[in-house]
Amino acid sequence: MNRERGSVTAEFAIALPAVMLVFACCLAGLQVAGTQLRVQDAAAAAARSLARGEPASVASRLVPGAVVSRHDDGDLVCATVVARATGLIPLELRATSCALGGGR
């Protein structure tokens, strides 16, 4: 009986770092997903602004450090927003959205 004393503590000490790593990866994934949603919202807002003839500065307010590029596709004005995800997973996130150009 004395030989098994402390075995639960040893198993816990081995398993805890693995559980913490999985938890950290889950949190990082949620952070990336949230940033992607903000990038998509910024692209939609930038496309609407550009279609009205206004600057696409709304994108930089929604996602700090985002880069906005514009391209026209017939009657549509499209905006592409590119931003870097911060945290454990350094990714480049990109979203494109289009809006009907005003007055055309």
> What residues contact 79, with CB distance under 8 A and at least 6 apart?
43, 46, 47, 50, 56, 59, 68, 69, 70, 96, 97, 98
Average pLDDT (6-21) is 84
- Cα gap 56→52, rounded to integer Å: 10
User: Are the CB atoms for 63 and 38 separated by under 8 Å?
Assistant: yes
Q: Tell me, what's the pLDDT at 2?
A: 64
Q: Tell me, what's the pLDDT at 7?
A: 75
So where are the chain's domains?
A: 2-100
14-73 confidence digits (pLDDT tens)? 889 999 999 988 988 898 999 999 999 999 999 999 998 888 888 888 888 899 999 998
Average pLDDT (74-79) is 92
User: Are the CB atoms for 45 and 58 separated by under 8 Å?
Assistant: yes
Nearest Cα residue to 76 out of 49, 54, 56, 47: 47
